Structure formats: C-alpha cells, structure tokens
Structure 1
Amino acid sequence: MWYRLLLKIHLQHPVKMGLIYVFISVVIAIIVVVTGEKSGRPNIVFIIADDLGWDDVSFHGSDQIQTPNIDLLAYSGVVLERYYSHCLCTPSRAALLTGKFAHHLGMQGYPLTNGEDRGLPLTEKILPQYLKELGYSTHLVGKWHSGNSRKKYFPNERGFDSFFGHISGYIDYYEYVLEETWDSGKVSGFALYRNFTPAWDVEGYITDVYTEEAVSIIKNHDVTKPLFLNIAHNAPHSGNQASLMQAPPEDVRAMRHVELPERRTLAAMLKKLDESIGNIVEALLNKDMLQNTIIAFVSDNGGMTTGDPDYSVNYGSNWPLRGFKMSPFEGGIRVVGLLWTPTLTHHLWKGRMHVVDWLPTLLKAAGADDIPDGIDGIDLWNQITTNADTSRNDIFEIDDYTGFAAIIAGDYKLVTANVSLSNSDYQGDDLRGVIGEAPPYEDTIRKSKMYSILEKIGKPFNMDNIDLREKIRVDCKGRERNSSTACYPLNGKVCLLNIKEDPCESTDLSELYPDLVKELTDRLKAEIESRVPRTAPVFRDPRAAPKLFNYTWTYFADYF
C-alpha cells in the first residue's frame, strides 16, 4: 500500500521525505488557488451608493446620466424592480446589518450625527458576524454611519476584519472632513479611518480611493476562504456646504451634454462611481473569483433633489416617482437595486423586497443552515433566483422623530401623520435637460469594462436585450403629476394609494375604500406600538468637538 511505502521512506530517508512533504504541500496550494475556495461558499460583494436617485442610473431609462457598468450588471443579473429601503441613511444601514426594521432598533428618523453618543445597539448580531461564523473574511470599505462615539461601536468590533472608510454620514471628496453646525457655531473634523486610526496619509478623490482599497482587498484575498466585501461609497452624496458637489474637472467636462451645472457635476460623480463598479468586477475576474461571486448594488435611499444644504441636497432625480430622501413616498423609499450572479437567466424580478431582507437572503445564499429568529427580514434567495412570487407583503416606514408613518401592504400604501410637504411633492423633471444629444447609449455600453468582462466569462451581452430598460421604466399610466392637488397626510388626513396601478402616487383612494383604510391603519398602529421609541432631540455632545482630538471625529465618549 502507498502509505506503507511512505512510512518506509520516512524511516530510512527522513530528509527525502521532508522534501516530498514540501512538494505535496505546494501542489495542494496550487490546486486550491486554481480551483477556488475549499468551502465552496460564494463570495459576496455588496455595494451601496449614497443618495442615488431612481433616475440617476441609465438602466431605468434615461440617457442623460449613463452608467454602463451598473447597467450591464443589471441586464446580466436581476433587476429588483420593487426594491425598498428606509428613507434615510442610518436607518437603512441599520436594517441591512440586522435584518430588522429601523424602528425595532431605535434607529429610525434623523440620522446619526458625529456628536451623538449613540450607535447601532450592541445587543444586535449583525451580518458580518453571521458570515464570519460561516468562515468568511469580512471587510468594509467606505461609509459606516452606525455609531462612532465609542470604540465598541466601530466596524472592527462588530464583525469586520478590516475597515477603511468614513465613520460619518458623508465627507469632503478630497479633504475627508465633515462639518456640522452646532449651537456654538460650525465645527469640522477629519473622518476617514483605517480600522481605529485616522488615515491622515491618504490622498485622492474618495471614490477612487475606495475603489483602490476594494481592488487591493480582492487582489490580496486568501481564496481558501470566502470573501464578504461591503463597499459603501460616499458617492453621490453631497459634501459640506462650502463645496456641495465635487468631481474631477475632466469628468465634469465630459458631461457637457447635461444642461444644469449642478446636475452636470452629479453626472461626473456618477461616472466615477460607475467606473468603480467596472474596476471592482474586473479585479474579481483577474483573481479568478468572479464565477463564484454574488454582487448586489443598491442605493440606501432616494436622491436628495432640492432643499437646504444642511440636508445634503445633491440634485439627484427620482423622477417620475414622487418625493425624495426623507419622504415615505416612492421617491424616498423605492430605490435602485440589483443582484448579480453568473448563472442567472432571467433579468427582471417584479417581487417586493425590503432592505431588511438582505441578511436572511444572503445567509441562505452563503449556505447557512438556519436563518436567525426574531428578525423582520425574509429569505428571498430562491424566489429571486427562480423568478418566483415574493413572500414579502408588508413594508413599514415609521419615523416617530419626524412624525410620519406608512405601510405598504400588497399593492396599496397608506401614509399617515405629518409629512414634510417640500420633500413629498414632484421634483426632478427640470433636472433632466440635455444640450443637443446625449452620447449614443449603445456605444457607451460597448466601451464599458463590464461589456468585455461578460465576453471573457462566456456570457456576452446581446444588444437586443438593451430594451430591458423599457420594461423597467416607471409608467405613470397617463396620470397627471400635480403637486398642488396631490394628497398630503396632515392634521388627521390619511392618503391611500394603489402603487401598482398608480406608481407615481397621484390619486388618493381613502374615501373610496374606507374599510381598507381602517384595516391598514390598525396594522400600522400595531406596528408603531412595537417600536423602540426615537423621540428625543438630537444632542450634539460638546465633548465630541474635533478640536479636542487633533481635529478628528473620534470615539470621544471613551475619554470621559
């Protein structure tokens, strides 16, 4: 037998046997590199854009801002046609990480500021912790915004092996500072971190910086373990008041067909974001990981079309949807979403999905034996990948800080309490102007990295399928969009909307269906009673002042 021969050689020629062991180890290592992960679990790359509007990607139908790499991920993957999120960034990220609606965490409403001693509850087990138990290497690049006042709130203490990004809601694209307005005046601090340390040595446009970091993680990844890489871009969120919109000048000039200068800069910011997607997918291809990778791309909430600069206006368009960021109407919560794997054969899923569903869905995809109990998320993996009906029925948007609440139940939405009128009307159509003609869309698609990548993996894109975006485009079905006659829930008035037949939310049905109003009101009230209250005013702790910590935002509460 072979093992007796090895034993004889080992006893008689130990040095030779040592060389044989080394040779066998090298061969095994080569086999592992060539064939991929031992575990067989898929890599997961989850990419989040910040304040990306419904009409800010070209696969939703507009040629003004062209996003060919994102579009081809959508066309060759699955477009999540009715993907919903919370209407603000901290709530949506809390829901993603925990699988729970933000109002069950006390994280609903106005997002975290850097001067608050508050964070994602430490009692919650979050997505990277679950994945680490399955053997994943876990990394976060980009925005955290889930607590930074104490070291224990940082990503490294919550299941991520590494963190490189901004701890705040946004940063300047070149200087990496965040400015807040306190009662005492303006304060500003550096907010870019590598793990627990301010990354003072970094230079460059932050979208490129994050892309380079993500590509480096992929290049250096140990392929004997599955990878979970969460890339949470700053783009296209606005910067500080002094310089709201930022992009390299040459990229802004490349967008000269966009009429309005504010929108032109946003288009350049999205050009850089789209290039980032292409570079990340290319890195996966070069590492021979792409064929065993799940890629998700979503926005955290709707675009911020207009408003006071304090509220992060970025001139994103959710047209023709109604409302924008901070609103329970479709423009605030129905957002860009797609899922990609190399084996998908259908490309449009019409089922409802909410951000809370990602945790159980990705755990199922990763091969977890059990889905956690006590969460709001639903495992939709098989339903999405086989194009089956959704089991997600109810969706809630509860903000007891601002003072509104909404429920989506099947085809209907009920909006109650008091919404901000200026955030809930029809905006964005005036941002869509083009000077002359936009670049030919098909040419843009052919020149993209994703186009050549799909050819290299044996999944070439058929240009005949470019009409998929016509199937995705929201059709208001001839209904007039008029802000002056639209229903606004104020002073006891409720709005009942059929968002399937009336996706642009133009017609109130509350008087026509009083029994349905009562049913949904009762369900919404029961859900509100289950919330963890979030009614206290935002408190910006003076101990958090960056000047006390070498002009950085940091885990200030640990020092007192």
Structure 2
Amino acid sequence: MRSRWIIFIAALIKMSRQGSFTRPNVVFIIADDLGWDDVSFHGSNQILTPNIDMLAYTGVPLERYYSHCICTPSRSALLTSKFAHVLGMQGYPLTNAEDRAIPLTEKLLPEYFKDLGYATHLVGKWHVGHSRSRYLPTFRGFDTHFGHRAGYIDYYEYLLLETWSKGQVSGLDLYRNVTPAWDVSGYVTELYTNEAVNIIRNHHISRPLFLMLSHNAPHAANEGAMLQAPPEQVRAQRHVESPQRRIYSAMVKMLDDSVGEIIKELQLKHILDNTIIVFVSDNGGITTGETANFASNYPLRGLKFSPFDGGIRVNGLIWSKNLTDSRYTWKGFIHVVDWLPTLLTAVGASVPKDIDGINLWESITSNNESNRNVSYEINDFDGYAAIIFNDYKLITGKVPDSYSTHEGKELKGIIGKAPPYKEALRKSATYKIFQSKGIQINISDVRKNTIRVDCNTNNYEELCHPKQDVLCLFNIKEDPCETENLSSRYPDIVETMHGLLMAEIKRSVKRKKTIFRDPKARPSLHNYTWTSWLDSVDKKTVQSK
C-alpha cells in the first residue's frame, strides 16, 4: 500500500513539473441528522442505500469517523479545521435571528480551494452565519450558493418556523446567491440534486471543481409536518412497520437517489475518474426529542445533542478511482476537523499550520494507523464536556438523560420480508456505472465490508450519566455502546484525560448562556424572508469611519 502511495506522489510531482497536472475535482456530500443505523453498509436491512453503499464498497468506508454532535458546530469545524469551541460556535445551533457566525478572521475550506484555481459551489445548507451579508457563502469562498442559510426548511414550501416569546414567526429561507428563490417549486432534495447536476454539467473542465452538496435530508421539517417525502416514495417503503420511520425511510431513499444522480452526471461529464467523493453525516440522528426525525443510531448510545457515540460517531466514506482496488474499511480515528488538511493534501496542495485538523490522506490511502488520538466535545452552553483519548472517552458535566440512552431498536420492525438487498444494489445507478467502467463488484460478497457495531445494550446494571460530581469513563473500542463506567477502576486514566480536557477548555471562546433573537430579524419586516437584517448596521458603521 505504501509503495502505491509513493508512486502516486511521484506521478503528481512529475505532472506538476511538466505543466500537465490537473488537480482532482472534489465533491463533498453532507447528509443532515442521518443516523448510524440508517445506511445499509452499516448493516441495515430496513433502510436500503445502494448508491451510497456502492461508494463504500468500492472506496474506503470510515469505521471511526467522528464529528461534533450538533449541526452548526460540525459545519464550523469542517469549514475551518478547528474545533467549534475555539471559534465560539459550540453548543446549541444558530437560530435565525441570532447575530453570530464563524469569525471573519478564519479562512474557510472553499477559500483554500478557490486560491488553487477551483470553481467553488455550495448547494444546500449553510448554517454558520447569515445575519450580515459578509457572513454568507458567496462572501466566504463560494462562487455560487443555492440553498438555505439556516438549520432546515420545509421540503416543499422552503419556510422555516421559529417560536419566539411572543409567538411563532416564519419566512422563506431558500436563496440563489443573495436573492430569495420565490420562483422554484418541488421537493427540496430533488431541487438540490438538480442544481448540483447542472453545476457539474455546465462546469468548464479547464478548472477543477469543488462542489459541496449539503442536503436538508433527512432533517425534520417544521412543527406540524416534521417528516415529508413524496407519497409514492413513502408507499414504496411499506415494509417499514413504524409509520413515522416509513416516511423517514423515504426521505433517506431520496437522499440515496441523489447520490446516484451525482455519480451518473460525473460519469457523463467524463470527470468521475478524476474526482474525489466524500459522503458524511453532520452528526448523529435524533430519534426523539427536539427536531426528532425518527433516525436510529442503534446500538450506539445517545442522540444528536449528546457527546455519546450516537451523537458524534457518524457515517463517513471517501471514494476515488485510485482506491477502487483496495476494498478495505479504514479503522483509523478521523474527526470532522481533519477534512481540510486531508483534502488539500489529496489535491496536491500545502496544509496550513494554525489548525486543529490532521492530514490523514496517506494514512487512509495506505490503510495505516491514524495520526489522530484525541478529540473534544466541549459545550459550555449546555454545560458538558467530553474528550476521546486513544481508546477511552471521558464525559463531564450534565448531559440531558433524554439524549443519553440507547434508542432506535424499537424502530427496526419490518412487515413481512425485508426488501432484497442484492437486487437493490444491481438496480442502483452507481452499480451500473461502475460495471460499465470495469470496476468489479461481487454482489454476493459485498457485505463482508459492512461496518457493524456489536454489543448487548441490555448487558449492564445501570448506565453512567455524568453530572457535575460524576465522571463517566468508557473504553469505546471494547465497549462502543458505552455501557460500563470504568472511572473507579482506572483513576489514573481519568486524571490524565481530565487534565487534558481542562487544558483544552481554556482555549474555548465562551458562549453566552442565553440566545438573543433580534426582533429586527422578523421575516414580516423583510417581505417574509429570513434575510441578513444587520447589513444596514454594517453600512452605517463603515460610513462613520
């Protein structure tokens, strides 16, 4: 494996010297609140994701991919390669009337690619600041943006509803660059897919492409219509026993179809062979509670909003034509902050120094151990903190019990027989494309690369719930479901990890304990849109200087 990597690097250097080097395209696909147990390459027989699976089976699925447990923090970390707590972006996600964003002093992922000559496009969710225009995607490295700026939208009407102290307010949150997209119609997953397809189709291949497709799916929509999918797609999921889970399954099906359409268009454009594809979830699923979408992280413990593995250990894979002969699952530790240096290395660029991310490209492509051994989940807004160090996780503070149990098993019910998995793979767009390219896939043997978490969640006396005076220590390698508290058995490990965590907390940019929703952001004041309502303040500030 290492010799292949050396040959690859040598070839890049040679092409660069000859002036014939074309940097690889990068397509980065993000699912929103997709559960660990909601992809079939993790073993699900209920929700089938054949297009995503084909990328995993012919690329490199990531067994230990970690993110932050909430959307705004995870996306901030992705874009900056810094842990969210050092940016002031940790904790409860941005609301639509909140004046907060990734600091303008930070250089973002698309800006690095833009400096390398890439065409840069964002389709879908942003959610790292929109109160002022200078916080928006097209002011921070993306050439274009079509999508929503905040946490989620209605799948058909593109509205976002918030409950304020004086009642509910709502407005349109779908934009083409800086213009409200009043003129579009359709199911938003299909809208985003069509936009991404058109970007690929119209891309001028004289420049490399960086495309981030950040889906709304399968995040819940507004109160009153939390789960939304086309009726015919819901009907096709009649094997799913739970009625809510059935709609969710259709939402995931649309997401998987989207992946297939992207692969098809890359092939039609004749750039698939020179494209790196990443597919991830931003955080764990949310089975119950706020913005519940009936996702399942089972058997992992915990949900979105919690530092347990159900909240932070998420779906991830990387695909490149150069990796299709490898057929291994990478078992190394990777965190969302690592994508920026890893992808920059993959396209032959230098890596910035003042970041938390680690370049793991060589480790992944050579199937070697990871250089990462520590990560943090620090949430001073809700009052908890966690550290992963080598094989152990330590959690301190107060984590809501409602987000800290093993949920999702009750959603696994199937009426009759599960749909035939091998048939779903054969019918998938991605399988057909790979077959035409001579990428050999043994359908009867693919599930040997399935990532499974095996543990008996009933095999414990009492779960440890961290509190101000209770620390919970787990060996997440041997006990991935976090059932056995080891803090009393290994006080030396607790002391070491607690010291590291306290040192890291000192780096945090503190968050206020309350969220201020600016009444001037009310959509009714802005033609019923959620917009950058503080631009006038910025303009006055500039004029006064």
Q: TM bucket by the smaller chain?
A: over 0.9
Q: CA deviation at 1:535?
A: 3.0
Confirm or deny that 1:74 pairs with 2:53: no
Classify 1:535/1:468 alpha carbon distance in 2 versus 1 (closer, same or farther; 3 Å).
farther
Q: Does 1:284 align with 2:263?
A: no
1:357 aligns with 2:345: no
Q: Does residue 407 of the first structure (1) align with residue 387 of the second (2)? A: yes
Aligned to 1:162: 144
Structure-2 separation of matches of 1:395 and 1:465: 35
Q: CA deviation at 1:347?
A: 2.6
Unaligned runs of 5+ in 1: 1-36
Q: Offset at 1:536?
A: 3.4
Q: What is the letter of the counterpart of residue 312 of structure 1?
A: T
Query: How far apart, in 2, do the equivalents of 1:157 and 1:258 lie?
Result: 44
Matched with 1:507 is 484
Counterpart among 541, 548, 552 of residue 525 in structure 2: 548
Give, in whole Å, the separation in 2 of the partners of 1:493 and 1:170. 35
Q: Match of 2:322, SS?
A: coil
Percent identity among equivalent residues?
60
1:385 to 348, 354, 365: 365
Partner letter of residue 159 of structure 2?
V
Which amino acid in 2 is paired with 1:326? F
CA distance in 2, matches of 1:366, 1:400: 36
Post-superposition shift, 1:238? 0.3
**CA 1:364/1:475 → structure 2, altered by over 3 Å: closer, same or farther?**
same
Q: Does 1:447 align with 2:427?
A: yes
Partners of 1:241 and 1:437 in 2: how far apart? 33
Q: Is the contact between residue 74 and residue 347 of structure 1 (CA under 8 Å) also seen in structure 2?
A: no
User: 1:349 is matched by which residue type in structure 2?
Assistant: W
Q: Deviations over 1:7-46 (max 9, x none)?
A: xxxxxxxxxxxxxxxxxxxxxxxxxxxxxx9641000000
Q: Paired residue for 1:182?
A: 164
Cα 1:223–1:145 change in 2 (3 A) is: same
Residue number among 428, 434, 442 corresponding to 2:414 in the alignment:
434
Moved more, 459-468 or 94-103: 459-468
- Residue 137 of structure 1 aligns with which residue? 119
Matched, 1:425 2:425: no
CA distance in structure 1 between the partners assigned to 2:54 and 2:342 by the alignment: 22
Contact kept in structure 2, 1:39 and 1:224, CA below 8 Å: no
CA distance in 2, matches of 1:53, 1:216: 29
* 1:408-456 superposed Cα distances (whole Å, 9 cap, x missing partner): 0010000111111110111110011000111111111111011101112
- The code of the aligned residue for 1:376 comes to D
| Number of aligned positions between the proteins | 517
1:348 correspondence with 2:325: no
Query: What's the secondary structure of 2:54's corresponding residue?
Result: helix
Superposition deviation, residue 485 in structure 1:
1.1
Q: Say whether residues 1:198 and 2:196 are aligned partners.
A: no
Where do 5+ consecutive residues of structure 2 fail to align? 1-18, 538-545
* Kept after mapping to 1: 8 A contact 2:70/2:91: yes
Aligned equivalent of 1:320: 299
SS in 2 for 1:397: strand
Q: 2:88·2:509 contact (CA, 8 Å) conserved in 1?
A: yes
AA paired with 1:176?
Answer: Y
What is the one-letter code of the residue matched to 2:314?
A: V
Rounded Cα–Cα distance in structure 1 between residues aligned with 2:132 and 2:347: 31
SS at match of 1:453: helix
Structure having the higher Rg: 1
**Which residue does the alignment assign to 2:540?**
none
- Aligned AA (2:98): E
Q: Letter of the aligned partner of 1:291 in structure 2?
A: D
Deviations 1:80-131 (A, max 9, x none): 0000000000000000000000001000000001101111111100000001
> CA deviation digits over 1:371-425, x for unaligned, max 9?
1111000000010011011000001000000111000001000011111111011
Question: 2:91 touches 2:381 (CA, 8 Å); kept in 1?
Answer: yes
Aligned to 2:248: 266
Match of 1:112, as an amino acid?
Answer: L
Equivalent position of 1:232 in the other structure: 214
Residue 120 of structure 1 is matched in structure 2 by: 102
TM-score, L = length of structure 2: 0.94
Please name the residue that 2:501 is paired with.
524
SS at match of 1:213: helix
Task: Please say if residues 413 and 496 of structure 1, whose CA atoms lie closer than 8 Å, have aligned partners that are also in contact.
Answer: yes
Which shows bigger deviation, 534-543 or 64-73? 534-543
Shift of residue 468 of structure 1? 2.6
Residue 367 (structure 1) aligns with: 348
Pairing 1:35-50 to 2, within 5 Å after superposition:
39-50=21-32
C-alpha distance in structure 2 between counterparts of 1:274 and 1:165, whole Å: 19
- Aligned-pair CA distance for 1:318: 0.1
**Cα pair 1:38 1:225 within 8 Å, conserved:** no
Deviations 1:44-95 (A, max 9, x none): 0000000000001011001100000001110011010000000000000000
1:532 partner letter = V
Q: TM-score, normalised by structure 1?
A: 0.91
Query: Residue 65 of structure 1 aligns to which amino acid in structure 2?
Result: I
**In the alignment, which of 276, 279, 284 is matched to residue 302 of structure 1?**
284
Give yes or no for contact 2:41–2:447 (8 Å, CA) kept in 1: no
Instruction: Tell whether the 8 Å contact from 1:41 to 1:226 is kept in structure 2 after alignment.
Output: yes
Please tell me the residue identity of whatever aligns with 1:118: R
Pairing 1:330–2:309 present: yes
For 1:33, the equivalent position in structure 2 comes to none
Q: Structure 2: how far apart are the matches of 1:209 and 1:175?
A: 12
For 2:293 and 2:284, the matched residues in 1 are separated by 11
Q: Secondary structure at the residue paired with 1:179?
A: strand
- CA deviation vs aligned residue, 1:194-221 (integer Å, no higher than 9, x gap): 0000011010000000000000000000
Please say if residues 405 and 415 of structure 1, whose CA atoms lie closer than 8 Å, have aligned partners that are also in contact: yes
2:468 aligned residue: 491
Counterpart-to-counterpart distance in 2, 1:96 and 1:290: 24
Q: Give the aligned partner of residue 534 of structure 1.
A: 511
How large is the RMSD of aligned CA atoms in angstroms? Answer: 1.1
